[in-house]
Amino acid sequence: MRDRHTGEPPRAAPPPEAGSLRESVADYVALLASSGLWVVGDPAASREDGAREAPSAGARALRADEPARPSIAAATVAAAFPATPGSAPDLFTPSLLDGTPSTLAEIREQLGECTRCKLSRGRTHIVFGEGNPKAEILFIGEGPGEEEDRQARPFVGRAGQLLTKIIRDGMKLRREDVYIANIVKCRPPGNREPERDEVAACGPFLMQQIRAIGPRVIVTLGRPSTSTLLGRAVQITRVRGVWHDFHGIPLMPTYHPAFVLRQYTEKTRREVWEDMKQVLQRVGRAI
Ligand code: URA
C-alpha cells in the first residue's frame, strides 16, 4: 500500500531493472492510460493527502516522509514516468481542446442533474466550481467533502478555509479572483478517492471548464488531482514545486490543504508558500 497521504512507495524500494521490465511496465501503463483517465496505484488505498477533514476512526496521520508498505504498481509507474516537467501525455481527448469554448453557464447546463456516474446517488448537491470565470489561476482539488456537498461550493470546510487563507493572506488575492474546481463534482462516499470511472465521467466537464476559463496557471491540490491531470501516477512530494504542462498551460502541483492541516509543520507550510510564490511570479504578480 502507498503512503496514504503522499502516495509514495517506501523510499528503500529497489529500482526496477532496465530493459524488459521497463518495457513491460511501459506497456502496462500505456494500457491503463488508454483505458481511462486515471492511473491507479493501489485501488485499496484510501484517500491520500487529506481531501477530507476527519480521518476515519483509528486512522492516524503519517509524516510526509514516513515510509509505507510497498506498492509495486505505484513504484513501477513512477519509475516508468519520472517526474520531468513538460511530460504530460494526452489525458483528456484532444478534441475537447478544439473549437469554441462553451461558457461556464453552458457547461453547467450541459451537466444538468448529472447521473453519469455512481457518485450521483449519494450526493446532496453538485459542486460545479466557483470563482472568476476568467481567472488567471485555477485551483483543482479532488472532490467535494461533506460541507461542500451541503453548500454546493468547493473548498468551504476546514481545508477550504486554509485554502482561502493561502489565497487571501498569502497570495494577497481574493477568493473571487481565482477559480476553484475539483476532478469530480459529487462527493465520494466514505471519504474515499474518486474512482477511475467517476473521474472519466467528470473529466470532460472539467476540461471544458479549463477551456472556458483559459487560466494562465493551474494549481493541482494533492496527488489525485495532479495524477489525473498529468495522466500518470505521481508522488506529490516529488512533483510539487516543479512546473509541469497541461496542454500548454503551466501546471504547479502542491499539497492538498487538508494534508497541510494534518502536517502543520514549518516545512510543509514553507513548501506550499514556495509553490504559491512560483505561481504568483508566473502570472506576474508581486510577492
Ligand atoms: N477537498 C477537495 O479536494 N475539494 C473540496 O472541494 C473540498 C475538500
Ligand 1 atom nearest residue 159's Cα:
8
Ligand 1 atom nearest residue 154's Cα:
6
Question: How far apart, in whole angstroms, are the C-alpha atoms of residue 75 and residue 234?
Answer: 10
Which pairs from 240-245 meet CB under 8 Å and 24+ separation? 240/271, 240/275, 241/271, 241/274, 241/275, 241/278, 242/83, 242/85, 243/85, 243/86, 243/278, 243/282, 244/85, 244/86, 244/87, 244/88, 245/85, 245/86, 245/87, 245/88
| Distance between Cα 18 and ligand 1 center (Å) | 39
| Distance between Cα 221 and ligand 1 center (Å) | 9
| Distance between Cα 174 and ligand 1 center (Å) | 18
Q: Is 3 in the pocket of ligand 1 (CB under 6 A)?
A: no
Distances (CA, A) of 65 to 2, 7, 27, 80, 231: 12, 11, 30, 22, 24
First to last CA, the chain: 39
**Comparing 16 with 261, which gets the higher pLDDT?**
261
Mutate to test the pocket of ligand 1, among 142, 161, 219 (most ligand atoms within 8 A of CB): 142
Comparing C-alpha atoms, which of 47, 40, 46, 41 is closest to residue 9? 41
| Distance between Cα 218 and ligand 1 center (Å) | 16
Instruction: Please identify which residue in the block is written with the cell numbers 466557483.
Output: 130
**pLDDT at position 180, please?**
99
Question: How far apart, in whole angstroms, are the C-alpha atoms of residue 234 and residue 87?
Answer: 12
CB 39 within 8 A of CB 80: no
Q: What are phi and psi of 51, to 5 degrees?
A: -70, -15
Q: Is 148 in the pocket of ligand 1 (CB under 6 A)?
A: yes
Coil, strand or helix at 228: helix
Q: Is 51 in the pocket of ligand 1 (CB under 6 A)?
A: yes
Comparing C-alpha atoms, which of 259, 198, 234, 237 is closest to residue 48? 259
Instruction: Please identify which residue in the block is written with the cell numbers 524500494.
Output: 13
pTM of this structure: 0.73
| Distance between Cα 143 and ligand 1 center (Å) | 5
**pLDDT at position 286, please?**
87
Best CATH choice for the domain 1-287 from the list 3.90.550.10, 3.30.390.50, 1.10.8.590, 3.40.470.10: 3.40.470.10
Structural domain spans, the chain: 1-287
**pLDDT at position 226, please?**
97
Highest-scoring range by mean pLDDT, 57-71, 73-87, 99-113, 158-172:
158-172
Q: How confident is the model at residue 2 (pLDDT cuts 50, 70, 90)?
A: low
| Distance between Cα 154 and ligand 1 center (Å) | 6
Helix axes 20-35, 72-80, angle to 10 degrees: 100
| Distance between Cα 45 and ligand 1 center (Å) | 18
Examine the pLDDT at 222 and tell me if it is beyond 60.
yes
Q: What Rg, from alpha-carbon coordinates, does the chain have?
A: 18
Question: How far apart, in whole angstroms, are the C-alpha atoms of residue 142 and residue 236?
Answer: 13
**Comparing 275 with 62, which gets the higher pLDDT?**
275
Q: How confident is the model at residue 101 (pLDDT cuts 50, 70, 90)?
A: confident
Question: What does the pLDDT look like over 182-204, one tens digit per residue?
Answer: 999 999 998 899 999 999 999 99
Ligand 1 atom nearest residue 147's Cα:
7
